[in-house]
Amino acid sequence: MSILKKMFFFILTVMFFISAACEADVFSSQQTETLPKLMLGEWQVTSVLTDQGKKTQVQGLGDKYIIPKYLGRIVSLESDRLSINTPYDETCEMPEFFSHKSSAEKIIAKSISSRFPEPSHPTPQDMGLPLKNNTLVNVLYLVCEKKLRAKDEGMSALADLTNVVWFIQLDKNKLAMSWHEETILILKRLSKNAKPVASFNCEKAGTLVEKTICGSVGVAAYDKSLSQSYKLVMAYYKSNPNTKSIISDLKKSQREWLKQRDACGADSTCLEKVMSIRIGDLNYDLGDYMYQNR
């Protein structure tokens, strides 16, 4: 994203909060300098919530193909920095937060794009959130001068919060976070003794790469996500006719990628990077195939 576009997005965001503050039914916001201490630390995405009440699937990748990108990712919340190790490696320096209270129903209606046919707005129950419609919640909205990707980069629905990242504290060890692609991420506080969970049994890790994967909660989670993505993409191609050559190419590219992965050896940063890129490539190729064969 260009510097000019970032500045434009930031100005729009600030203008939105100023104008929306005049509407008591939507906002009674207060700027906070830092996150509450209870929210500081490392969190892991344990669930990726999507609208289960919609009647039709929007064009593009279905929800089940999107989920592995975000499931298991690590969100680090510090007083002066926020980061999440998604395939986009997103970071927000010196974040600002605006807080306000509203009903869970209104927050979801203004955070998830309208759908057709009726009902046009999803409810907390449609999203799988453990909140009743009239539950009054305190929401923290994120604003970054150097913009963290706030969900999607498009700005068409900014006034409806669909491009704004927010947090809701569900309990002391669980957060809800709005994110890209019409998703809400459920974050669980990451304990210091959390065990890595990979796509294979870490107790049987034999090679250097397998041991490195199992030495990090974040890298192991990426390994599991990659395995899920590959299986989903392969299953899709197998369920469609005339994909024999595509399946052959996919298997070949996976073998080549495994060599690239193994070359990382004991470098966990390298492993996380090549895994995230591979997940992105798998989704991109599948999305392109769906588009060409729609």
Give 96-110 pLDDT, tens digit per residue: 788 888 999 998 988
Q: Are residues 231 and 127 in the same domain?
A: no
Tokens of 215: 């030495």
Task: Provide the number of structural domains found in the chain.
Answer: 2
Of 228, 104, 87, give the one whose Cα is nearest residue 178.
Answer: 104
The 10s digit of each residue's pLDDT in 14-72 is: 333 333 333 334 344 555 556 788 899 999 999 999 988 765 554 456 788 889 999 99
Q: Are residues 50 and 87 in the same domain?
A: yes
Q: Are residues 270 and 241 in the same domain?
A: yes
Q: Are residues 19 and 111 in the same domain?
A: yes
Q: Are residues 72 and 175 in the same domain?
A: yes
Tell me how crowded residue 184 is: count the other CB atoms within 10 A of its CB: 22
User: At residue 228, what is the residue type?
Assistant: Q
- The whole-chain average pLDDT of the chain stands at 81
In a domain, 194, yes or no: no
Tell which of 189, 217, 241 closes a domain. 189
